[in-house]
Amino acid sequence: MFINNANCDIYIGKAAGKHLISDIRNARKSIKIVSPYLSASLVKELIKLKSKKLNIELITSDDIEDFTGDKEKNIHKLIIQNKTPNSFAKKWIAFSLITIFSIIGVLATMLFAFYETEDIRISFGFIAVIILCFVYRFFNKKSKSSKHNYYKYSQLFPFKVYMSPYKSKLSDSFIHSKIYLIDDKIAYLGSLNFTVSGLKNNYETSIRTKESKAIKEIKKEINQLFHHSNLHERDIQLWGAELYEQSSEKNKTIFIKKIV
């Protein structure tokens, strides 16, 4: 993409991100961000804006600051776990409980009958108890082997996390662009990552434009990158299971193709 003779403002230095964060906070309709690196506190800003019904789209890489860190993990809040109980597993559990109560009932009846009659033939009732024990073992085995819950993962707002070439052999491209489109009216391009250090501490460069022709082309470029990039991305289902640490049901989680 090449845009010639576009009017723009230029920001250079440590305060290069001051106007950007101000425009993001004052957005009225939509925010689209392309940034390979993110800070948890700035993701929190996006979560707040989402609560105000803004349309947000995010494109980033798998080098996310709070994914492996020990601090506040706002990235996790972008992935929502949806749990659906497995009705078949519940049935197996119910059958197991019914069988247990049946065994107890048969034994109690046998003891009472023997107490009343002292008839040795009552001991044949143990055949029924043994059969019920095998039935219980079958139902219990089915219950333990069944997935108790099915999990799907959805996104708080649409985002793509593309894989870094030095983390995966599947990709040879790295999303290194920093692009911000606010309300489809204001665009920022430059070296600024959506990080605290990028916006406040680092020596950065950034241009800001409101020119309609440039905005139109930048919007088209973001849409192309979001929907038709052909780059390898993190699977939301696998990543969601990893983030939620389903250790107790590690083998009971099904992974379904992306639903967003």
Note the pLDDT tens digit of each residue in 242-259: 777 653 444 343 333 333
* Per-domain residue ranges of the chain: 9-85+153-244, 93-146
Q: Are 38 and 73 in contact (CB under 8 A)?
A: no
Spatial CA neighbour of 225 closest among 135, 140, 159, 126: 159
User: How far is residue 220's CA from residue 223's CA, in Å, rounded to a whole number?
Assistant: 5
Q: Are 255 and 237 in contact (CB under 8 A)?
A: yes
Q: Are 162 and 229 in contact (CB under 8 A)?
A: yes
pTM (predicted TM-score): 0.69
Q: What are the tokens at 241?
A: 């299971």
Q: What are the tokens at 7?
A: 């009017």
- Supply the DSSP symbol for 233: B
Q: Are 23 and 16 in contact (CB under 8 A)?
A: no
- Supply the DSSP symbol for 74: G
Architecture in CATH for domain 9-85+153-244: 2-Layer Sandwich (3.30)
3-class secondary-structure state, position 106: helix
Can you give the C-alpha Rg of the chain in angstroms?
29
Burial of 20 (0-12, 13-18, 19+ CB in 10 A): buried
Question: How do residues 194-207 score in pLDDT, each as one tens digit?
Answer: 988 888 889 999 99
Question: How do residues 3-38 score in pLDDT, each as one tens digit?
Answer: 667 788 898 998 788 889 999 999 999 999 999 988
* pLDDT(47) > 70: yes
3-class secondary-structure state, position 16: coil
